[in-house]
Amino acid sequence: MPEQEFLPPRPAGRSWSPDPGEEDPRPWAGLAPVRPGTGGEDPPERPPRRGERALRAAARRRRRWLTAAAGLVVLAGATLAVVLSLTGGSGPASVTPGTLITTFQPGELRQVPDACRSVPGVTVRQYLPGTSTVASPLPVNGSAGSACNWTIDKPPTYRLMELNMLAYAPNGLASGDGSATFAAIDGYDAAWQGLRDPPSQSPEPRATVRALPGLGDEAFSAWQVFHVGGAVTDVATVVVRYRNVVVTVRLNGLEHSNRGSYGPVSQAQLSAAAQAFAQAAAASLR
């Protein structure tokens, strides 16, 4: 029977420790204490709290967002590099077709000449016989517009010649590319439409309108007959567009009056006079 090793009993009432130089005979010496009920295993991991789950989920979302944003930055940089290489560097890009024009283009006029001086005196005397009274209405468009009126009121002749010139500016509401020329085209078309088919409440009678080739960039003439208070007035109108300028000439001839001895008038003479004044005014724009 093997010899058993006996350990000396611990004295009661105090903790026991080996003498100096003596080896500690306790087999449990040097071991870390074990919490009761754990069996010596590692303590279980604490389950995450409710708030911690939300924080972790938000962190994951931030990581995914940052990753996506970094990808977009890289893609934008690559796209910019391609655009710069195609346009020749970082300088201003050329005008894209279809964009609005906001400045005057070469050949377009910012101002018009004095309307009263745009028609030579010889032309005035030829088509307005007698002494005429000349008046220049105050401009409402600055140097972009000018007007002049010539009046003869001596029975049996009554004539009122009205000349108006207007240079249009670029306009974002105009048709086409919004340039000054397109704005003038819109004004010219509106004059044509207004004479041929005036509004139902307008006192203007419907005009006979025809195109005039070879005058300016485009031109037309119109003829109207007004019946007001027993008087009959014939009106010849000529409208010319030259680039971004619209010239309007309107000649009134009193054919019959309920007071005084006026008339008659010749339609051919009125139309010829209006066309001559319009041609002279359009020539002054060149």
- Catalogue all structural domains in the chain, each as residue range(s) with its CATH number: 115-283 (3.40.1000)
Predicted confidence band of residue 57 (pLDDT cuts 50, 70, 90): low
Q: What is the mean pLDDT of residues 165-183?
A: 97
Task: Tell me what pLDDT residue 130 has.
Answer: 85
Predicted confidence band of residue 260 (pLDDT cuts 50, 70, 90): confident
Both tokens of 187, joined, read 């004004």
Question: CA angle, corner 206, sides to 157 and 186, nearest 5?
Answer: 105
Task: Tell me what pLDDT residue 123 has.
Answer: 97
Closest by CA to 276, choosing from 161, 187, 168, 196, is 161
A 10 A CB-CB count for 233 gives 20
Q: What is the mean pLDDT of residues 38-45?
A: 47
Among 16-30, 102-116, 143-157, 189-203, the minimum mean pLDDT is found in 16-30
Task: Tell me what pLDDT residue 147 has.
Answer: 97
Q: Check whether 252 has a pLDDT greater than 90.
A: yes
Strand partners, 151: 133, 160
Alpha-carbon dihedral 49, 54, 57, 59, rounded to 10 degrees: -100
Q: What is the mean pLDDT of residues 61-86?
A: 43
Predicted confidence band of residue 70 (pLDDT cuts 50, 70, 90): very low
Q: What is the mean pLDDT of residues 23-31?
A: 48
Task: Tell me what pLDDT residue 118 has.
Answer: 97
Task: Tell me what pLDDT residue 117 has.
Answer: 95
Q: Check whether 253 has a pLDDT greater than 50.
A: yes
Task: Tell me what pLDDT residue 99 has.
Answer: 84
Sign of the CA dihedral with 109 first, then 115, 120, and 123 last: positive
How many Å apart are CA 147 and CA 168, to the nearest integer? 15
What is the rounded average pLDDT for all residues in the chain?
A: 78
How many Å apart are CA 282 and CA 263, to the nearest integer? 30
Residue the block writes with tokens 């724009």:
285
Task: Tell me what pLDDT residue 96 has.
Answer: 56
Task: Tell me what pLDDT residue 246 has.
Answer: 98
Predicted confidence band of residue 76 (pLDDT cuts 50, 70, 90): very low
Contact between residue 149 and residue 162 where contact means Cβ atoms under 8 Å apart: yes
